[in-house]
Amino acid sequence: MENEAMTINEIQDEIIAEFSDYDDWMDKYQLLIDLGNEQEPLDEQYKNESNLIEGCQSRVWLQADLTDEGKIHFQAESDALIVKGIITLLIRVLDNQTPDDILNADLYFIEQIGLREHLSPTRSNGLLAMMKQMRMYALAFKAKQG
């Protein structure tokens, strides 16, 4: 059976369901850390200044490439476990989506799983910086497709 690409909202709903299995925030943090640990390490060539996200307390590298199908493929890595988990979730939601879909996405899962209220202010700023950077890539690729 061919795996139909899931929409951004379908993926968000899946994440919300996964997190709703846990009541305790320590368990949710552990889930985030586990997700981050499962992520493929980023190729060393992409760990450069231009891929570092401004506004993150920890170091986060984000690489984006436009596929031949006109979708954006994201890869990332962070030296902080929780942040790595957060960027892993963002990538899960936005990876292999079109620039338009990314730009129009309402990332409601962040509120729904309680992430925003449980992050420190610096991590919250980092989360916003990551989202903004992914949107910037989408804008740039959209302009290129023009």
**Is 117 one of the annotated active-site residues of the chain?**
no
pLDDT tens track for 16-60: 999 999 999 999 999 999 999 998 899 999 999 999 998 877 899
pLDDT at position 4, please?
A: 65
Instruction: Considering the domain delimited by 8-145, tell me its CATH architecture.
Output: Alpha-Beta Complex (3.90)
Domain residue spans in the chain?
8-145
Which of 56, 60, 94, 127 is catalytic? The answer is: 56
Taking the whole predicted model, whether its pTM rises above 0.85 is answered as yes
**pLDDT tier for residue 1 given thresholds of 50, 70 and 90:** very low
Contacts 24+ apart (CB under 8 A), 56-61: 56/83, 56/125, 56/126, 56/129, 56/130, 57/122, 57/123, 57/125, 57/126, 58/83, 58/126, 60/87, 60/126, 60/129, 60/130
Q: Percent of the chain at pLDDT above 90?
A: 80
